[in-house]
């Protein structure tokens, strides 16, 4: 079965963006020359699944940053809302996480980069995330878009490794423990 993988940066108080979606603070630490593993992560996946809000943010970047195919989950926009230059690379979908992963599995995708707070939470709730690499930025922002949310049951994690960098960024890799069959 296709596995989901998270690679994301948060404030120390657990937010991935300010309430208005601003992520400028992520880049205000001096992390020049540090390799946090982002390129290796992108290289390791067959493609990305992201929420529409994350897609909106990426569209505001100067250039489209991905070479791998991207699936955007939305119930409010459709393929016609994707800029023409991206239509070969971006697919809009309205699908539940399990059904989407089963479809990707049939299409030969082995590993998927899952991005966006709401989307990550929904994939976690369905047991579709295998690893999470979380980079904590040394800053408290007080309020914002949370990475994690409510759960019906605990999600036990295995800590694989933590690395710290001169910029103060601390990156931890967790493996989500497979639930024993009841």
The site for ligand NAP (CB under 6 A) is made up of: 8-9, 16-17, 21, 23, 26, 50-54, 57, 73-77, 94-96, 115-119, 122, 145
Nearer to ligand NAP, 67 or 76 (CB): 76
DSSP 8-state code for residue 84: G
Task: Compute the least distance from the CB of residue 2 to ligand NAP, in Å.
Answer: 16
User: What CA–CA distance (Å, rounded) separates 12 from 46?
Assistant: 30
Shortest distance in whole angstroms from residue 142 CB to ligand NAP: 15
- Nearest approach, Cβ of residue 52 and ligand NAP (Å): 4
CB nearer to ligand NAP: give 100 or 180: 100
Least distance (Å) from ligand NAP to the CB of residue 182? 25
CB of 35 to ligand NAP, least distance (A): 16
Residues 6+ apart with CB under 8 A from 74: 51, 52, 55, 92, 93, 94
CB 173 within 8 A of CB 179: no
Residue 83 is encoded by which pair of tokens?
A: 């800029």
Beta bridge partners of 176: 157
Classify 55 in phi/psi space as left (phi over 0), alpha (psi -120 to 50) or beta.
alpha
The residue number whose beta carbon is nearest to ligand NAP equals 51
Classify the C-alpha dihedral 161-166-168-169 as positive or negative.
negative
In the complex with ligand NAP, the residue whose CB is nearer, 122 or 131, is 122
Element counts in the chain: helices (H) and strands (E)? 4, 10
Q: Which is nearer to ligand NAP, 124 or 145 (CB)?
A: 145
Q: Which is nearer to ligand NAP, 8 or 29 (CB)?
A: 8
Planar angle of CA 127, 133, 26, nearest 5 degrees: 125
């Amino acid at each position: 079965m296709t596995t989901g993988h998270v690679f994301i940066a948060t404030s120390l108080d657990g937010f991935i963006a300010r309430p208005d979606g601003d992520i400028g603070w992520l880049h205000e630490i001096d992390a020049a020359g540090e390799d946090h593993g982002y390129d290796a992560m992108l290289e390791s996946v067959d493609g990305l699944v992201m929420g529409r809000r994350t897609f909106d943010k990426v569209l505001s970047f100067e250039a489209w940053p991905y070479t791998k195919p991207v699936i955007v989950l939305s119930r409010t926009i459709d393929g016609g809302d994707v800029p023409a230059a991206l239509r070969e690379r971006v697919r809009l979908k309205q699908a539940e996480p399990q059904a989407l992963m089963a479809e990707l599995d049939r299409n030969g995708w082995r590993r998927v980069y899952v991005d966006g707070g709401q989307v990550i939470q929904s994939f976690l709730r369905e047991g579709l995330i295998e690893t999470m690499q979380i980079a904590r930025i040394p800053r408290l922002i007080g309020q914002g878009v949370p990475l994690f949310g409510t759960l019906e049951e605990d999600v036990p994690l295995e800590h694989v490794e933590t690395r710290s960098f001169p910029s103060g960024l601390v990156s931890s890799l967790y493996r989500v423990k497979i639930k024993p069959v009841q």
